[in-house]
Every structure is written in C-alpha cells, then in structure tokens.
Amino acid sequence: MKIHVIITMIALFVFLIAAIWYAKKKYKINLSVLGLGAVAFFVSSQVLEKIVHLLVLHPQKDGSISLMQEHPFLYVLYGIAMAAIFEETARLVFFNWLEKKRTLEDSDALAYGLGHGGLELLYLGIGSLISLLILFSMLESSNPDLANLLPKNTLETVQSLSAWQVYLLGVERVLALIMQIGLTIWVYQAVRQKNWIYLVAAYGLHALFDLAPSLSQVGWISNPLLVEGLLAVEVVLFVYFTKSVFYKKR
C-alpha cells in the first residue's frame, strides 16, 4: 500500500507545480498574490476557523464531538457554514485590500485561487498521505508494540483501505483545487463589479460543495465513490456555470 501512497503524493505535487508553471507562463500570474492566497487559506481555515471550532464544538481528547453524535444534522449545517464563511470572507478581505493598492486583474483570481487551493492540496492532501505513510510503516514494523499505540478505530480504518481509495483521495484534492479557483473568480468578480450577488453565490456554492463530504463524515453517505462522484459532477457543472456567467464572450 505504501507505494500507492507515494505515487499519489508525487502525482499531486507534480500536478500543482505544473498548474502554477502553466498559469505563470500563459496568464502571467503574480506570484505574490499566489503566496498571499496561501497565507489567507491557512489563517482563515487552519487558525481562525479552528479556534471557533474549539470554542463551539469542544472536541474531546479522543477526537469525538458531542454535536456530531447527538445532532448530526446541526453538525453538518455548522460545518458547511463555517467553511464557507471563513474562506470566502478571506477572499473578500483580500480583494478589497488589493483593489485599494492597484487595479485588479483577471489573473489575480487565478493566482489567489492557486495559492489558496494549492496550499490546501499540500496541507490536507499530501499531509494526509504522509500520515497514512507513517501509519502503514507502523503496521508493517517488526515491532508489534508500535501498532498497539494506534486507536482501534484508526487501526481498523487503515487496515481496510484499498489502493483505489488512496488514489481517490488524490482525485478529491484535484477537484478541490479546481473548486477553489472557481470560487475565487466569483468573489473577485463581486469585488470588481461591485455585484454582491456573486459573493452570496460564492458562500452558497462553497457550502454546497462541502455538503457531500460532511454527510459522509457523519455516516449518512457511506460510499466514498458516491461522495467523489457527486463532487465531480458538481465541479463540472460549476466550471461550465462560471464560464457561462463571466466568460461567455471569450
């Protein structure tokens, strides 16, 4: 299994580097905007949002959350709302700030989206794969005491993983990157055109994209292929919709 994890990690990294290189060459993206997009993702979703989660959800030492177990529907609503609010508001703040510094350019949306989605791909995607690699190494170790250190649920989950599920994780990260670029375009256009319907749409679309994974998290959707299939359909329709709204004359 470790070889499948390593292949997925390399594929994701190469894909991200190739996407940035292509965007820089063809669209002349500003790498400073890309870097600030990455910072905005980390601060909004991995610092501020997680602080709110700690205050609201009160997760236990074993990772369990009472709201998820007792009121899964409310937990899903809370999760998709928080992700949308923090990430889309970060985009709004950034483009409002950038607009005061200079004229906004279409390439700024692509640069920010690649930075935001790219760090998400590295932090959540490759980070998760590295964790899997460590867990598989512990299971294959000649020292059985290492495997005994793992919680029972974690041990069962890792042992039940198939190669296709590892690759599916990579596909999910690619879909998420495309989604993040698309959502950035909507917020960018909201700021540039001063049409706040686009901003409201970005909040709603983000929540919609997170719905299937959140339902899976509480056990209401158990088939990972169904979750990723729904995400793939959503992303394809989203790309078409975004192009129709903003770039139909091109």
Using only C-alpha atoms, what is the Rg of the chain?
19
Phi, psi (degrees; rounded to nearest 5) at 173: -70, -35
Distances (CA, A) of 204 to 32, 177, 210: 28, 18, 10
The predicted-structure confidence for 68-114, as pLDDT tens digits, reads as follows 889 999 999 999 999 999 999 999 999 999 999 999 999 999 999 99
CA 30 to chain centre: 22
Percent of the chain with pLDDT over 70: 92
Distances (CA, A) of 201 to 37, 145, 184, 204: 20, 51, 11, 5
Q: Assess contact for 246 and 189: CB atoms under 8 A.
A: yes
In the chain, where are the structural domains located? 1-244
pLDDT value at position 24?
97
| Tokens at 230, concatenated | 């729904």
3-state helix, strand, coil in the chain (%, to 5): 85, 0, 15
CB neighbour class for 55 (10 Å; exposed up to 12, middle 13-18, buried from 19): exposed
The predicted-structure confidence for 18-33, as pLDDT tens digits, reads as follows 999 999 999 999 999 9
Comparing 66-70, 81-85, 114-118, 145-149, the range with the smallest average pLDDT is: 145-149
pTM for this prediction: 0.92
The three-state (H, E, C) secondary structure of 218-234, written as one string: CCCCCCHHHHHHHHHHH
Q: What is the mean pLDDT of the chain?
A: 91
